[in-house]
Amino acid sequence: MRPQILYPLFANLTSLKGVGPRMGALYKKLCGDYIVDLLWHLPTGIIDRSYAPQLCRAEKGRVATLHLKVAEHVPPTRPGGPYRIFAEDQTDQIALTYFNVKGDYLNRIYPPGNEIVVSGLIERYRQSWVMNHPDYAVSPGREAEIPKFEPVYPLTAGISGKMLQKAVAQALTRAPELAEWHDAALISREAWPSWKEALRIAHAPCPGNDDTPHRRRLAYDELLADQLSLAIIRAHHKASGGRSFKATGRLTSRLESTLPFALTPGQKQAIAEIAKDVAAPKRMLRLLQGDVGSGKTVVALYAMLQAVEAGAQAALMAPTEILAKQHHATLAKLLGPLELDIGLLLGRGRGGDRQATLEALATGKLKLVVGTHALFQEDIAFQDLGLAVVDEQHRFGVNQRLMLSDKGRGVDILAMTATPIPRTLTLTAYGDMDVSRLMDKPVGRQKIETRLIDMARLDEVVAGIKRQATKGAQIYWVCPLIEESELVDLAAATERADLLKQFLGPSAVGLVHGRMKATEKDSVMNKFSAGDLKVLVATTVIEVGVDVPKASVMVIEHAERFGLAQLHQLRGRVGRGSEKSHCLLLYQAPLGEMSKARLKMMRETEDGFLIAEEDLRLRGAGELLGTKQSGAREFRVADPMRDADLIDMAHGDAAVILAKDPRLESERGKALRTLLYLFNRDAAARLLRAG
Ligand code: ADP
Ligand code: MG
C-alpha cells in the first residue's frame, strides 16, 4: 500500500487543468501517467533571455530580448504570406513576422509608435533582421514577465514548451512536503535542499547550476531507492529457504587431478568464495564476472560438483542452444574421468532422449544437466535441484532473477557474465548479488595482435587469410548487420563468403546468419569447431561464448560500427589456444576523429575493464549492459557515469540502513519506505510488507 501522503503525486496527469484525455495520452507518451512522472521529467537545457543586445551588435541565431519601438504594420501581400510588423531600436530595424493571423490582436499588442519588449530567436533574412513569432511581447512596464532563464524540456508533437511549463508549475503545487529520509548529517554536509525544494529548483534552471546540490540530491534519492530495494531483494532471497550443503571434496579433488591445466589464482579464489556460499545455510546469489576467455566454465563446474557431493542436483542454463550444446560437450569431457553423466535439455521437440533425461532428473539418477531457458520455463521436475548456474547473465534483469528464485526451490544461484563493467555499474545492475571477479587470464595466453585496416585493402587481407589458413589457422569473419534491410546484409555476407571460397576452396568456408534454422546453424558451427571449415563467416555477432580454441584469427568488417565492448567480446573468441592470434579490424574510410580514437584504443589494450569504462563514457549504460531490451531500469535523474561516487555511497548507506533497521520501522525507516514508493520500487516494498 502506497503511503497516503503520496496520493497527490500518483494522481493521473489528466487531473491537471488543461490536460484532458487527449493531452493525457500525449503526456503518457512523453513521461508517464502520474503527476510524479511529470515532476521527474526534468529540463535538459535552458533558454537564456538575458541576452539583450542593440540590433547593430546582435548575433544572429541567438535568443535575444529586444527593446523596440513599433514603426508600421505590413499585412500579408498574398494568401499564406507573413504579417510583418516593423520595429526599431536606435541602431537598426527588425521585422517581427507572424503567420496565419486571425483578428486584430496584433494591432492591440503592437500599436504603432509604442514601445515594446520582445523576446525570441533573431535571424537574418535578405540582409535584414527578423524574429519569427516572438515568444514574448510586452510593454516596457511588464518586462518582468519575461523570464531571464527558461527551462527547455524534451517535448513531443502536440505539447509545446509553454504548455509543459504550465503543467509542471501546477504539478509542483501538488508535491507534498515529505519527511526527510536522508541522514541529517549528510544533508548538512552536502548542503542539500529538501526533496520538494530540490525539484522546484530543478525545474527552474539557470546557467551554471547544473551540478549543484539539488541535482545531486535528486540523483541520490533515486540511487538510494535503487540500492535499498536491491538490498531488500537480496536479503529476502538469502533468507528464503537456503540450505547448507556439505561438500565432501570427493568429486572436486578428482576433477582437480584430471584437469588438463592448473587453475589460475583468480579461479581458485572464486571457487573458494562460492564454496563458502554453498556451505552456508543462506541461499547463494552470486555473480561470477570474468572477461571472455577467463575460464568461468570450470569455476561453475566446481560449484556444480559441490552440490552433487552433497547429494543434490545442479543445472546450467545457457542463453542459446548452441551455447548449451557447447557447454554440455565441454563439461561432459571434463566429467569423463569422474564417470559422472551430464544431461542436455533443449526446447520441446529437440534432442532425442529427452524423455529419458526428464525421467532421470525426476528420479535423481541424473545429477547434472545443461539446457536453455526451457529448463526453468517448462515444468521440469528435479528430484532435488540445489544449484542453478545462469550463463551470460547480462541478458537478464533483476526481475527475471527474482522470478528464477521465486520458483521456490530454494536453489543457490550462480550467474556468470563476460561483460566487464565498472564497479559502480555492477552495483546498480547487480546490486542484489554478491560478486566474484576473475581478473586474471589463464597463463600461456598470448597477446592478440590487433590491426586496423582500410577496407580498400581487402585484397591483401584475403591473401593474408589464405596464408594463415594454409598454415592451419581457423578464422572468424564477421560482417555486421548494418543496413536497415536484413536482406542487404545477408547478400553482403554471402558475397563475402563467395569471395573467400574462390580463394580457399568451396568446402573451406561456412556461413551462419540469423535467418538460418537453428539446426542448420548448428551444423555449420559444429563443422567449424571440428576443424572441417577454415573460415566461418557470420552476419551478426557470433553467439557470445562460443569456444573454438584453435581459431586464431578474427576479422571484423565495419569495425567502426561496433561498440567497444562488442569488439572486445568478438576479439575474445580468438587467442584461446597457444598460437599467436590476430584480430583485423576493417574500417570504411574516412573515419571520424572519434571512431579513430575508439579503434586505436582497441589496438592498444586488451583490458576489458578499461574498454568497458570507455564504452560506458561513449555510449551509456543501457547499451553496455545489453539490458535496453530486457526492460532493465534506466535512471531518471542519476547518471551512472557522473554519479559514480553517489552510487558507491548509496550502496554503503543501504547496507547500513538495513543492518540497523531491517524492516524499516524507525522514523527514518518510514521515510525511506516513502522513498521506495516514490520511485515505484514496488517489489521491494512488497517484500518488506510480506516478510
Ligand atoms: P569464459 O570465461 O569466456 O567462459 P571458458 O570457461 O570458456 O571462458 O574458458 C576459455 C578457455 O580457457 C577454455 O578452452 C578453457 O578450457 C580454458 N581454460 C580455463 N581455465 C584455464 C586455466 N586455468 N588454464 C588454461 N586454460 C584454461
Ligand atoms: Mg563462457
pTM of the model: 0.69
Indicate if the pLDDT at residue 196 is higher than 90.
yes
Domain 448-605 classified CATH 3.40.50.300? yes
Cα–ligand 1 centroid distance for 474 (angstroms): 18
In the block, residue with C-alpha cell 575508439: 598
Cα–ligand 1 centroid distance for 339 (angstroms): 22
d(CA 323, CA 321): 5
Q: DSSP character for 14? A: G
**Ligand 1 atom at minimal distance to the Cα of residue 298:** 6
Average confidence (pLDDT) over 397-409: 58
First to last CA, the chain: 15
Q: What is the pLDDT of residue 628?
A: 41
pLDDT digits (tens, 9 = 90+) for 575-599: 877 788 999 999 998 988 888 888 9
Q: C-alpha distances in angstroms, 526 versus 4, 104, 329?
A: 61, 79, 11
**Ligand 1 atom at minimal distance to the Cα of residue 262:** 23
pLDDT digits (tens, 9 = 90+) for 304-363: 999 999 999 999 988 778 788 889 999 999 999 998 999 998 876 655 688 889 999 999
Cα–ligand 1 centroid distance for 95 (angstroms): 73
CA-closest candidate to residue 633, choices 618, 622, 646: 622
**Ligand 1 atom at minimal distance to the Cα of residue 263:** 23
Lowest mean pLDDT among 4-18, 127-141, 432-446: 432-446
**What is the secondary structure of 660-676 as a DSSP string?**
H-TT--SHHHHHHHHHH
Nearest ligand, measured from the Cα of 290: 1
Could you tell me which residue, 251 or 444, shows the higher pLDDT? 251
pLDDT digits (tens, 9 = 90+) for 457-498: 999 999 999 999 999 999 999 987 766 566 677 778 899 999
- Nearest C-alpha to atom 24 of ligand 1 is from which residue? 442
Nearest ligand, measured from the Cα of 331: 1
**Percent of the chain whose pLDDT exceeds 70:** 90
Lowest mean pLDDT among 21-25, 290-294, 523-527: 290-294
The DSSP bridge pattern shows strands 313-317 and 368-371 to be: parallel
Cα–ligand 1 centroid distance for 297 (angstroms): 7
pLDDT digits (tens, 9 = 90+) for 69-78: 999 999 888 8
Return the CATH number of the domain spanning residue range 47-152.
2.40.50.140
pLDDT digits (tens, 9 = 90+) for 523-549: 898 899 889 999 999 987 566 557 788
Nearest ligand, measured from the Cα of 320: 2
Helices 213-239 & 644-660 angle (0-180, nearest 10): 50
Residues with C-beta less than 6 Å from any ligand 1 atom: 261, 263-264, 267, 290, 292-298, 418, 442, 545, 547, 549, 576
Could you tell me which residue, 89 or 1, shows the higher pLDDT? 89
Q: What is the pLDDT of residue 620?
A: 60
- Nearest C-alpha to atom 19 of ligand 1 is from which residue? 295
Nearest ligand, measured from the Cα of 293: 1
- Nearest C-alpha to atom 10 of ligand 1 is from which residue? 293
**Ligand 1 atom at minimal distance to the Cα of residue 547:** 7
The DSSP bridge pattern shows strands 434-438 and 285-290 to be: parallel
**Ligand 1 atom at minimal distance to the Cα of residue 438:** 2
Cα–ligand 1 centroid distance for 267 (angstroms): 10
ω into 590 cis (within 30 of 0): yes
Cα–ligand 2 centroid distance for 624 (angstroms): 18
Residue 631's pLDDT band (cuts 50, 70, 90): very low
Q: What is the pLDDT of residue 630?
A: 36
- Nearest C-alpha to atom 5 of ligand 1 is from which residue? 295
Residue 607's pLDDT band (cuts 50, 70, 90): confident
Average confidence (pLDDT) over 156-169: 91
Q: C-alpha distances in angstroms, 109 versus 115, 123, 614?
A: 10, 22, 54
**Ligand 1 atom at minimal distance to the Cα of residue 572:** 3
Indicate if the pLDDT at residue 189 is higher than 90.
yes
Lowest mean pLDDT among 17-21, 261-265, 349-353, 521-525: 349-353
Q: What is the pLDDT of residue 211?
A: 67
Q: Is 262 helix (H, G, I), strand (E, B) or coil?
A: coil
Cα–ligand 2 centroid distance for 679 (angstroms): 35
To test the ligand 1 pocket, which listed residue (325, 570, 576) has its Cβ within 8 A of the most ligand atoms? 576
Domain boundaries, the chain: 4-44+156-176+193-202, 47-152, 213-239+644-690, 250-438, 448-605
CA atoms within 13 A on the CB side of 397: 11
Across 139-158, b (16+ Cβ under 10 Å) vs e yields eeeeeeebbbbbbebeeeee
- Nearest C-alpha to atom 20 of ligand 1 is from which residue? 295
- Sheet containing strand 474-478, strands side by side: 448-454, 581-587, 551-556, 474-478, 535-538, 509-512
To test the ligand 1 pocket, which listed residue (294, 302, 391, 441) has its Cβ within 8 A of the most ligand atoms? 294
CATH architecture entry for 250-438: 3-Layer(aba) Sandwich (3.40)
Q: DSSP character for 431? A: T
Q: What is the pLDDT of residue 117?
A: 96
Q: What is the pLDDT of residue 326?
A: 86
Lowest mean pLDDT among 107-111, 243-247, 326-330, 385-389: 243-247
In the block, residue with C-alpha cell 559502480: 424
d(CA 117, CA 630): 52
Which cell numbers in the block locate residue 462? 584475403
> How high does pLDDT run on average in the chain?
86
Cα–ligand 1 centroid distance for 271 (angstroms): 14
**What is the secondary structure of 359-412 as a DSSP string?**
HHHHHTS--EEEE-THHHHS-PPPS-EEEEEESSGGGS-HHHHHHHHHT-S--E
Nearest ligand, measured from the Cα of 545: 2
Indicate if the pLDDT at residue 451 is higher than 70.
yes
- Nearest C-alpha to atom 13 of ligand 1 is from which residue? 295
- Report CA 425 to chain centroid distance, whole Å: 10
Cα–ligand 2 centroid distance for 325 (angstroms): 12
d(CA 55, CA 58): 5
Q: What is the pLDDT of residue 182?
A: 96
Indicate if the pLDDT at residue 564 is higher than 80.
yes
Q: What is the pLDDT of residue 399?
A: 61
Could you tell me which residue, 597 or 431, shows the higher pLDDT? 597
**What is the secondary structure of 160-219 as a DSSP string?**
-HHHHHHHHHHHHHHPPP----S-HHHHHHHTPPPHHHHHHHHTS--TT-TTSHHHHHHH
Cα–ligand 1 centroid distance for 442 (angstroms): 7
Nearest ligand, measured from the Cα of 291: 1
**Percent of the chain whose pLDDT exceeds 90:** 50
CA-closest candidate to residue 167, choices 180, 182, 155, 149: 155
Nearest ligand, measured from the Cα of 323: 2
d(CA 346, CA 373): 8
Residue 425's pLDDT band (cuts 50, 70, 90): confident
**Ligand 1 atom at minimal distance to the Cα of residue 444:** 25
Cα–ligand 2 centroid distance for 192 (angstroms): 45
Indicate if the pLDDT at residue 393 is higher than 70.
no
**Ligand 1 atom at minimal distance to the Cα of residue 549:** 14
CA-closest candidate to residue 387, choices 255, 254, 239, 244: 244
φ/ψ of residue 197, rounded to 5: -65, -40
Indicate if the pLDDT at residue 624 is higher than 80.
no
Average confidence (pLDDT) over 487-516: 87
Question: Is there a shared CATH topology between the 250-438 domain and the 448-605 domain?
Answer: yes
- Nearest C-alpha to atom 26 of ligand 1 is from which residue? 442
Residue 292's pLDDT band (cuts 50, 70, 90): confident
Average confidence (pLDDT) over 656-672: 92
